A and B are shown apart, each in its own frame.
Chain A
Amino acid sequence: MKSPFFYLLAIITLGLLAWGTYQALDVAPAEATMGDAQRIFYYHVPAATAASILFLANFVASIWFLWKRSPVADAIAVTGAEVGVVFFGVVLVSGPIWARYAWGTFWVWDARLTTSLILWLLYVSYLILRSSSETGSTSVLAAALAVFAAIDMPIVYMANRWFRTSHPQPMIGTDRLDPAMQKVLLWNMLAFCLFALLIAWFRFDLERTSQKINLLHIQKASKGAIAVVMPAVFLFIDPVREHMLQHRYMVFGYVAVWTIYIGYMLYLFAKLRRLHREADELEMT
């Protein structure tokens, strides 16, 4: 990482994640019927927001790439899709954990759930295409698919609204939200969006690095990765609660979500080491 802003961002994000988690676990009032299980909400919704922004970035960057063929645009596109898929994976895992408690079932083929799943599938197929197309044509084919995926999204949304309306609607509505809860949600929204930005930044740098295979970049980027993984450690501290069942859902949710985040970051580390070795073999300085 060239920029000291990355480290500044890492420190701010770490602080905000800790603050947001403290707010979510301790300050926010317990929900009347769902109790602690409802606290999944505080990282479910922010992850969805972050993922939506990342997918939008993927679309804009893909158009930019088709127009100018800039490698920077390609790096942004792959970053947006990959980090977006991870954050949306968090949404799709934490949602059902909450739903099991609130609705009594993990999954309902409801409009919003179906739309989310298809959105996730579209970007997974984008990543599969990237990983298996012939060298050289990857970026162009992926950019074309990204445009199709972005066109498809509003259509998927409408299709589900029109043809599947018999299913129950999700219970999320901000007008029904307690102001104290809303404040906590906004803190977490900020924290997780910055967290997404941080990881995306790291991933983007990795992509640029892999585009250039430059040893100097790799060494500096590896330092940044430690700063990314650190905040995760805070979140496994077990707060004492009265309602054990709800509490279990909450803890389970946190463990599942952070397993995804940390797993992804470990994947990035592995990629980094591979690039490192490759650069060594090429004797780049």
Chain B
Amino acid sequence: MSQSLIKLTAEQVGKDLRLEWRSRDVLNSMLFFALLVVVIFSFAFSPTLEESRRMAGGLVWTAFLFSTVMALNQSWARELRNGVLDAYRVSPAPPEALFFGKCIGNYLLVLLLECLMAPLFMVFYNLTSVGPYWQLAVVFLLGTWALVVNGTFFAAMSIRTRNRELMLPLLLLPISIPAVVAMVTGTTLILTGESSPLTQIKFLGGYCVIFTTACYLLFETVLNAE
């Protein structure tokens, strides 16, 4: 059973990435959107080096948060065409495999976006980190998972509403506020090198575990809601 879950999840991830690789519509729009946010923010604030270290945490995460919302809306919309989702619901495959497949696919996509955008942020805002870079990597890996796991869940919920694309940020943003606070303060602490971000990292880890469990337990209910 658990082996088939892993196998199906892997199939799902492979399928999503292959689709994305062939069309590239989500990644392209995400990248361009994040780039626009970077440019607009720099016009709005035009910070000095010291200021940009303080601001960058909030700025980077705002850009990534909104690009993630964009990607997540697309990921389920794809399954609605030709009744793919309904076909999945009547198939004997466990719904958790579908959820984690989607989740991991989105996660890899957002991570790729972050890897591409990070150098741009460094260049445009003249950023260098005072704290160690590996801590930054940990905060980004955990923070992105926190956004994506809840985001995938609420995207599955919001495709069942009348105003699909509008609904996702309305549901996701209030739930994600504690994670966003931890990501932003963690990133700022590392960039400015003021103190250790260990509390934030632990907090993000806890947040990920709690909400991954909640999504795992409730996804079947939401998928089959009638």
Contact = CB atoms under 8 A, between A and B. Distances in A.
Interface of A: 66, 118, 121-122, 125, 128-129, 132-134, 136-137, 140-141, 144-145, 147-149, 151-152, 155-156, 158-160, 162-164
Interface in B155-204: 157, 160-163, 167, 170-171, 174-175, 177-178, 181-182, 185, 199-200, 203
B226 A159 contact: no
A196 to B, nearest CB: 23
Contacts of B174: 118, 121-122, 125, 149, 152
The 7 nearest A-B residue pairs measured at CB: A140-B225, A159-B178, A137-B225, A121-B174, A133-B161, A155-B178, A122-B174
B162 A133 contact: yes
B170 A140 contact: no
A133 B218 CA distance: 17
Contacts of A163: 181-182, 185, 199-200
- Interface centre among B161, B170, B200, B226, by most chain A C-beta atoms within 10 angstroms, is B161
A163 B178 CA distance: 10
A129 B171 contact: yes
Contacts, number: 86
Contact of A141 (B162, B175, B207, B222): B222
B153 to A, nearest CB: 8
Interface of B: 150, 157, 160-163, 167, 170-171, 174-175, 177-178, 181-182, 185, 199-200, 203, 206-207, 210-211, 214, 218, 221-222, 225-226
B203 A162 contact: yes
Contacts of A164: 181
A151 B178 contact: no
Contacts of B157: 129, 141, 144-145
A151 B210 contact: yes
A199 B160 CA distance: 31
Main secondary structure of the interface of B (DSSP, over half): helix
Contact of B218 (A132, A147, A159): A147
B185 A141 contact: no
Nearest to B157: A141
Contact of B177 (A118, A136, A145, A148): A118
A140 B178 contact: no
Contacts of B206: 155
Contacts of B185: 163
Contacts of B150: 148
B175 to A, nearest CB: 5
Contacts of A148: 150, 175, 211, 214, 218
